Structure 1
Amino acid sequence: MNQLDQLKAFTTVVADTGNFKQMAQFAPRDATTNPSLILKAVQQPDYAPLLADTVRAHRGQALDQIVDEVLVRFGLEILKVVPGRVSTEVDARLSFDTAATVARAQRLMALYEAAGIGRDRVLIKIAATWEGIQAARILEQQGIHCNLTLLFSFCQAVACGEAGVQLISPFVGRIYDWYKKQAGAAWDEAASAGVNDPGVKSVTQIFNYYKKFGIPTEVMGASFRNVGQIVALAGSDLLTISPELLAQLQSSEAPVARALDAAAAQDLPLHAVSLNEAGFRYALNEDAMATEKLAEGIRAFAVDAGKLDVLIQQQLAA
């Protein structure tokens, strides 16, 4: 049995891509997208007509409305391939505006519902800033489920759990990148692999905490750099994996064992944590890696959102 099939015995596998034509071969349950993945997809010849058709159909609407129509159009195509949920991201430029995030999320969900898709099949992706987490709290109370992304620290996970968020996406690879860069020539790849990988350790801590205290928020490890990181998190509620790494898992028959265990977490000597806004901001500030990576991630998504705007404006002008 290949590694991908073994992994599916412990963990729900999610495809991390906007390329829905490539997705079916891996039979993921869910799929996640972000501005960078959608930008990458619409620049491919296969998807150019989808962008052009959507822009043409909504000519005359505001640019941000057309962007949301494009995002949802991709989501609808993805939902033809996966049996579960698709994650669609709110514009990263709204990451520090709770009210604007709520409004944009409501509009995305309304577009899905108008196309006949129920709320159980969509997760609205929001950056795990304090403002984003509070937006998710409001949305969850309205029955709009959220996926909190760009999550690098324990304090972000605690706040998401307290807000009743449906799912979080703690990033593994970007944490690994930061520590590797910090260490420079002193980095020891072998000593920092598997369960000792700093990104793997972060997700493991969050998973164990949630399971220990019965927090129902789903944990979906994200942003992987290698198969070793994925295998070290077998047993996480979900793992979202790029097509390249899904292909590697599918082509290997090396053994995969459960690494994370909800039952075993019950016996761990952990203490419950509660964070108000001041406590959250201070804890995040104390974590240099998380502070830098959250800011960097929002900037990068904002740049790609801007590039998508330009592509759409070019279509409108054509």
Structure 2
Amino acid sequence: MKFFIDTANLEDIRTAEALGILDGVTTNPSLMAREKITGEEAILSHYQRICDCVQGDVSAEVIGTSFSEMLEEGERLAALDPQIVVKVPMTKEGIQAIKYFSDKGIRTNCTLVFSVGQALLAAKAGATYVSPFVGRLDDISTDGMALIAAIKKVYDNYQISTQILAASIRSPMHIIQCASIGADVMTAPLSAILKLLEHPLTNKGLAGFLADYHQAISK
């Protein structure tokens, strides 16, 4: 399973990249606003800085909601860097835009997916990635992981090449569950990724090894 980081914070991206486990980055307008990146030129420049930090794909989201706006923005984003994947919302116009981009050889990530039907439409239109939002489904007492499993079953039935990118990941357990189900990619904040490093027995074991070592060399 590929590991993407869900952020627009360059320091977090560099930290994840330095671990040697990062495969890509996803962003959205909310994450850009959190970093106080505003204005079209500033946003485009920030996407380029993100691409310079990593080797893998960088999802950059369109803001427009009409078909024509999505095409204009998406082509501008795709022209920035070969790493850019144009992130498009799951709407009628979004599906039309994904088909247009697919025909043009522009890679896409269909975002805000909450059902198998939506995931199937995105795949039919040629989406490179489809992003089911696990955490937001959990927030309304719906099983987000069940959606990942259902999409995977349908995709496997027809050997669909669209990759399942599990999004809205809230915890390290979400990451493990996605890997167990067979999601192609997961995107999570740095905090959730780093928590995979932690285990009390690891800490206890390391402390024991160090104590034994210091005792041995002090004799």
- Give the TM-score band, short-chain normalised: 0.7 to 0.9
Q: How far has the Cα of 1:228 moved from its partner?
A: 1.7
Residues 18 and 37, structure 1, Cα contact 8 Å, conserved in 2: yes
Q: Measure the CA separation in 2 of the matches of 1:252 and 1:137.
A: 45
Structure 2 length as normaliser, TM-score? 0.83
One of 125, 148, 153 as aligned partner of 1:203: 148
Name the structure 1 match of 2:137.
Answer: 175
State whether structure 2 residue 145 is matched by structure 1 residue 155: no
Matching residue of 1:308: none
Structure with the greater relative contact order (CA < 8 A, sep ≥ 6): 1 or 2? 1
Give matches, 1:159-238, under 5 Å: 159-179=121-141, 198-234=143-179, 235-238=182-185
The corresponding residue for 2:104 is 142
Q: 1:167 to 1:253 in 2, by over 3 A?
A: farther
> Which amino acid is 1:80 matched to?
D
Aligned to 1:268: none
| Corresponding residue for residue 101 of structure 1 | 70
Matched residues in 1 for 2:99 and 2:119: separation? 13
Q: Does 1:75 align with 2:47?
A: yes
Q: What are the Cα deviations for residues 111-132 of structure 1, in whole angstroms up to 9, with x where unaligned?
A: x0xxxx22xx111111111210
Q: CA RMSD in A?
A: 1.7
Q: CA deviation at 1:73?
A: 1.4
* CA deviation string 1:14-34 (max 9, x = no partner): 000001112222231100110
Q: TM-score, normalised by structure 1?
A: 0.58
Distance in 2, matches of 1:166 and 1:228, equals 26
* Counterpart secondary structure, 1:147: strand
The question of whether the paired residues in 1 share the 8 Å contact of 2:86 and 2:107 is answered with: yes
Aligned partner of residue 179 in structure 1, secondary structure: coil
Change (3 A) 1:76 1:253: farther
Quickly say closer, same or farther: Cα 1:34–1:253, change in 2 above 3 A: farther
2:217 maps to: none
Structure 1 residue runs of 4+, over 6 Å off?
A: none
C-alpha contact 1:14 1:31 (8 A) present in aligned 2: yes
| Contact 2:169–2:186 under 8 Å retained in 1 | no
Task: Check conservation: 2:170, 2:188, Cα contact below 8 A.
Answer: no
CA contact (8 A) 2:77 2:84 kept: no
Check whether the contact 2:70–2:97 (CA below 8 A) recurs between aligned residues.
Answer: yes
**% identical aligned pairs:** 30
Q: 1:155-201 deviations in whole A, cap 9, x for unaligned?
A: 11010111111111110000000126xxxxxxxxxxxxxxxxx0000
- 8 Å CA contact 1:90, 1:105 repeated in 2: yes
Q: Is the 8 A contact 1:71 1:88 kept in 2?
A: no
Structure 1 residues 133 and 252, CA gap change in structure 2 (3 angstroms): farther
Point out where structure 1 has 5 or more consecutive residues left out of the alignment: 1-10, 43-50, 56-65, 181-197, 255-318
User: In the superposition, relative to structure 1, how do residues 253 and 29 fare at CA in structure 2: closer, same or farther (>3 Å)?
Assistant: farther
Structure 2 match to 1:243 = 190
- TM superposition shift of 1:78: 1.3
Q: 1:262-301 maps to which residues of 2 (within 5 A)?
A: none
- Maintained 8 Å contact 1:145/1:165: yes
Which whole-Å deviations, capped at 9, do the CAs of 1:265-306 have from their partners, x for residues lacking one? xxxxxxxxxxxxxxxxxxxxxxxxxxxxxxxxxxxxxxxxxx
Distance 2:200 2:102 in 1: 40
Q: Does 1:87 align with 2:59?
A: yes
Deviation at 1:250, TM superposition (A): 2.6
User: In structure 1, how many angstroms separate the alpha carbons of the residues matched to 2:35 and 2:16?
Assistant: 18
